[in-house]
Amino acid sequence: MVAPRDRPSAPREVRGVKPHPLPKTVAPLPDELLSGWLSRLAAANYWNDAELLAHIEIDTRHGAALDFDVEAADAEKISIAARVDPDTVQSMTFRAMTKMEMMLTAQVPFQSCPECSRRGLSLRHWRRSWAFDCQFCGTLLVRSLAKPGDEKLPEKLIDRARCGAGLLEHAATSNRPNLLRRAMRAVTFGMSLKSVRGDPLFALQSPRPEVRLFCLAAIAAAQSRPLIKAAISSAGADGYVRIALLRAFEREPRLLAAVDHIAQQRARSTGPKTAESHN
């Protein structure tokens, strides 16, 4: 009888037996996401993701299910199979985030780097609402479902949005709630100007790139004279913009009063609008 080679002949080991190390392993890259690395590991061993997970005896068919929470026992199984440290496996997930980071981290891949994706990579920072350029190769991140014929957005908007993204990152990573509140207030304004409804956190991860960019650009714009800008956007406001305004300033009635005051002054100086009455 031929001695068995150190290579699994079937995708699943006998139940109760710890998985053997895989014939081939791949080294995780800095900031690589667990599911992305598992996909590369599967490909290196000529399996698909589900076959790899079945071999390692992990009770899910999708690696993405492990990105936010991988149990210690599963991390151990993966570490044995791939010959890496269990801590390395855990470090590729989104565990131990602050509440602020969690709010600004997408559950699904809403954007990606076209260059790195082509090489089969999936990086953790792409999921952050503030991520703008790929930290690995410097390419502008694009929404994950972008089609080749999609409208090209103005460079000026992209530049402003990049600046706003940097401010959002600073607000989130410095763990200063006041900075984040200011940024989210600007996002709410950006949404109202674009007539987008819903949660500002979702607008930042919007599948519509122009909405995301406009909201990020609003963060940059709000850095200088935010009250004047708020007043301008509130002039001629419809009901929704007014609600957005109230929501943005709900904890700061003094600022809301100031915005109203500036808006009234502007209305007086620019003269009455020739609005048609429907009454």
Q: Which is nearer to Zn ion, 136 or 214 (CB)?
A: 136
Residue 134: CB minimum distance to Zn ion, A: 3
Helix (H) or strand (E) holding 112: strand 111-112
Closest CB to Zn ion among residues 136, 249: 136
Site string for Zn ion, 76-115 (x = CB under 5 A): -------------------------------------x-x
Nearer to Zn ion, 121 or 221 (CB): 121
Q: Cβ distance 52 to 42 under 8 Å?
A: yes
- DSSP 8-state assignment for residue 63: G
Q: Minimum CB separation from Zn ion for residue 196, in Å? A: 28
Counting residues that bind Zn ion (by CB under 5 A) gives: 7
Residue 244 near residue 259 (C-beta atoms within 8 A):
no
**Residue (134 or 222) nearer to Zn ion, CB:** 134
**In the complex, least distance from residue 123 CB atom to Zn ion, rounded to whole angstroms:** 7
CA distance 163 to 103: 20
Site membership for Zn ion, residue 210 (CB under 5 A): no
CA dist 71 → 84, 87, 89, 93, 198 (Å): 16, 12, 10, 11, 34
Q: Which residue, among 216, 144, 231, 140, has the nearest Cα to 184 in the 3D structure?
A: 216
116 vs 191, which CB is nearer to Zn ion? 116
- What is the token pair recorded at 111? 């954007």
State the Cα–Cα distance between residues 204 and 208, nearest whole angstrom: 10
Q: Does the footprint of Zn ion cover residue 134 (CB under 5 A)?
A: yes
Residue 137 CB, nearest distance to Zn ion (Å)?
A: 3
Measured from the CB atom, the residue of 112 and 192 that comes closer to Zn ion is 112
* CB of 203 closer than 8 Å to CB of 190: yes
Give residues 135-154 in contact with Zn ion (rule: CB under 5 A): 136-137, 139
Residue 134 or 215: the one with the smaller Cβ distance to Zn ion is 134
Closest approach of Zn ion to the CB of residue 30, in Å: 12
Residue 222 makes contact with Zn ion by CB under 5 A: no
Helical spans, DSSP H, in the chain: 34-44, 49-56, 72-82, 86-91, 99-103, 114-118, 155-173, 177-193, 200-203, 209-221, 226-234, 239-248, 253-270
Interface residue list for Zn ion (CB under 5 A): 113, 115-116, 134, 136-137, 139
